[in-house]
Structure 1
């Protein structure tokens, strides 16, 4: 227990932080409970070379009327956002309409799209940074580490009632980071190299001190203090500089789940969103689960995430500090059983059927590796990823299909 002088010192330090750091950004503003917001990041691809192309400014100009397409760090990337949604069904319809409108607005521009976690062969030396003050400052501060970060993720916002509730859900979802990463894994290749990983995307940003596996905090005040300290010492400029796999977003009133690779298809995207939403509903009714399990040490959480990065759904989870292991697939199936009443209640059966298909037949990473094994050509992998984006469902039996697709299939993505 601290003595009186040390307690006074802590109080004084907290007072200094409060007086020197603007509190507005950390003020939690609830915007609905267990509502959803989804962000997906799209690769802009040249249909002749199948490389990334730096044409985001043109795309943004053509789609400004949509109000849901935003710039990203590189000009070869755009972000698509949903409105606030109540269910995964709403998110699916929102994303579908925006993606159809995007295809329609850009149909004469000679640009294709994909949503996998990395582009298979593009070189980061060729990427052009979006010319904003924030992005240029990030390059100046982090140098080579930031220059590598042309990666594509799926981010899901969950509406929270308060900051304290946000931290509770944050600690609950810490357990599921390996599950979500493995199911969404779509980044086996990097700059023309087969990395041997199911998901190499996290390796591009985890070297940064404020990225990757989040730290455990017990209450909102702990998170608030950490944020203020990081900002005061110059480690971050704002909450946007916390690239954690889970991140409270006070201004939106949400917990932002950021661990997932960009899902290759719309059907997989919404299936992962539905899983997150069903888990959140389960925890809302079973909050005591957190008190019934021991908080794992950081090394254990980090180990399990690494195993998901390396082995995907074939990973074995470390279940406790004694070294007990369990198949990730087995753990996922057990949680599906627990979630069954919520799947029924939310009418998410179709989405969980998609997840079962992923578990049985393979993730995007496995599909991409199959294409490379068959063709020995990274361009064919890109064609496959474009096809899946257009088709909106995984290509398993028909993996021989190559871009360009028939006009009828393209029209499915651009119909009004």
Structure 2
């Protein structure tokens, strides 16, 4: 079967950011996405690709950019939509935050969104889908040719542990410490068409594979392929879906800069006739698990012989390698946030530090909300709890947050596309 790839002119950006709706007093998730989006029809009903969207559960709103040339533009796009969202939420005593999971809440207590495709997903996947109380960030980067799409996807698979460890933010599941840096990657990865991408050499092989999956009834649409990195034919992008929910806009910019710089580098290397890295499947799978379990403290496998290096060291080297590309793209400062996270701690580390210092999971929720609010999305309303108290576990939001630091406007790269679980 022929699948058209609507190639992009350059490495443009599109970002999807899934946010949690939280009660400021109880710290539990609020099931009010439908009502909140209903108060913002200009953002939630703006054509086929609105900036604000439903997700699988009513406790989630997804914020989606238009097509952006730079990381700075993408951050500004997200910030504008979030500010509008907060204007509606604050009178409801509700706050926004982002992490791969909610530290306290259980999937059994959530309300599903009244959207047909989500009902179909639940009917097909049952328990696997019902428990997807997870939140992520997806980054689309424009690709100039279908002939480049699969080599770039294969090369990006080498960096799944880097993407995940930097943004891992889901150590807690239903009120318990899982011992993992990212429980989200396990929960969402249980879907039969999720997980690392299979190695597909080129576009004709991808077309043949999609035809096989459709013929077998494994999928009803190629949009039901939820790989950690996948080509998106309609948008002319590769979509990186490995990122856990990211608590701050600054770190979202980091993820976007890393993604855009890598895709741009690979595009240039293909133009020069170089082959791109394509790690064996067992290495990709093992490295993803290592980042899921150990986060930034993982040792990643670097070759088919089993050689390993500390992931932190590999990330420092990656930033050094990408710096010239990021400079040309105008996102060097965003890429530098990688080094800051390595120094101050990823979200899973910041969350656990609160507990280690004698705090509670309520304090963790407060700290996540404080980190989000510190991005300049406006003043907090009065009162305690999630939005009115900048301290938790005995420190300021900055001190604790930095412990030392799952579909409106269209554009050729992304055109406001599908989201976390089932678009």
Q: Which category of TM-score, normalised to the shorter sequence, fits these structures?
A: 0.7 to 0.9
1:29 aligns with 2:6: yes
Q: How much has 1:321 moved relative to structure 2?
A: 2.2
Q: How much has 1:116 moved relative to structure 2?
A: 0.7
1:141 aligns with 2:97: no
CA distance in 1, matches of 2:160, 2:369: 27
Spell out structure 1 runs of 4+ moving beyond 6 A: none
Q: Provide closer, same or farther for how the CA distance between residues 96 and 221 of structure 1 changes in structure 2, counting only shifts above 3 A.
A: same
- Corresponding residue of 2:98: 115
CA distance in 2, matches of 1:114, 1:316: 30
CA distance in 2, matches of 1:120, 1:154: 18
- Corresponding residue of 1:284: 267
Q: Provide closer, same or farther for how the CA distance between residues 353 and 337 of structure 1 changes in structure 2, counting only shifts above 3 A.
A: closer
1:41 counterpart SS class: strand
Q: How much has 1:215 moved relative to structure 2?
A: 0.4
Matched-pair contact (CA < 8 Å) for 2:366–2:389: no
Q: How many residue pairs get matched?
A: 378
Q: Provide closer, same or farther for how the CA distance between residues 353 and 161 of structure 1 changes in structure 2, counting only shifts above 3 A.
A: closer
Q: How much has 1:290 moved relative to structure 2?
A: 6.2
Which one has the bigger helix percentage?
1
1:107 counterpart SS class: helix
Structure 1 range deviating more: 350-359 or 195-204: 350-359
CA distance in 2, matches of 1:197, 1:76: 24
- Corresponding residue of 1:320: 303
1:224 aligns with 2:207: yes
Q: Provide closer, same or farther for how the CA distance between residues 406 and 367 of structure 1 changes in structure 2, counting only shifts above 3 A.
A: closer
- Corresponding residue of 2:134: 151
- Corresponding residue of 2:328: 345
Q: Provide closer, same or farther for how the CA distance between residues 290 and 125 of structure 1 changes in structure 2, counting only shifts above 3 A.
A: farther
Q: Select 1:302's aligned residue among 260, 276, 285.
A: 285
Q: Select 1:50's aligned residue among 19, 27, 31.
A: 27
1:364-379 aligned within 5 A: 364-379=347-362
Structure 1 range deviating more: 309-318 or 329-338: 329-338
CA distance in 2, matches of 1:148, 1:41: 16
- Corresponding residue of 2:317: 334
1:188 aligns with 2:171: yes
Q: How much has 1:88 moved relative to structure 2?
A: 0.5
Matched-pair contact (CA < 8 Å) for 1:384–1:402: no
CA distance in 2, matches of 1:328, 1:212: 20
Q: How much has 1:126 moved relative to structure 2?
A: 0.6
Q: Provide closer, same or farther for how the CA distance between residues 292 and 383 of structure 1 changes in structure 2, counting only shifts above 3 A.
A: closer
CA distance in 2, matches of 1:126, 1:68: 27
CA distance in 2, matches of 1:145, 1:404: 33
1:380-395 aligned within 5 A: 380-392=363-375
Q: How much has 1:209 moved relative to structure 2?
A: 1.8
- Corresponding residue of 2:54: 71
- Corresponding residue of 1:414: none
Q: Provide closer, same or farther for how the CA distance between residues 219 and 349 of structure 1 changes in structure 2, counting only shifts above 3 A.
A: closer
How much is the aligned-residue C-alpha RMSD, in angstroms?
Answer: 2.1
Q: Select 2:64's aligned residue among 59, 70, 81.
A: 81
Q: How much has 1:340 moved relative to structure 2?
A: 2.0
Unmatched runs of 5 consecutive residues or more in structure 1: 1-17, 394-400, 410-416
- Corresponding residue of 2:344: 361
Q: How much has 1:61 moved relative to structure 2?
A: 0.6
List per-residue Cα deviations over 1:29-49 (Å, max 9, x = no partner): 124321100000011111121
1:169 aligns with 2:152: yes
Unmatched runs of 5 consecutive residues or more in structure 2: 44-49, 377-383, 391-395, 397-423
List per-residue Cα deviations over 1:44-81 (Å, max 9, x = no partner): 11112111111010111112212410000111111100
Matched-pair contact (CA < 8 Å) for 1:387–1:402: no
CA distance in 1, matches of 2:389, 2:328: 38
List per-residue Cα deviations over 1:334-359 (Å, max 9, x = no partner): 12121121232233232133221100
TM-score by length of 1: 0.86
CA distance in 2, matches of 1:106, 1:32: 38
Q: How much has 1:106 moved relative to structure 2?
A: 2.5
Higher relative contact order (CA 8 A, sep 6+): 2
- Corresponding residue of 2:16: 39
CA distance in 1, matches of 2:180, 2:320: 29
- Corresponding residue of 2:411: none
Q: How much has 1:289 moved relative to structure 2?
A: 8.6
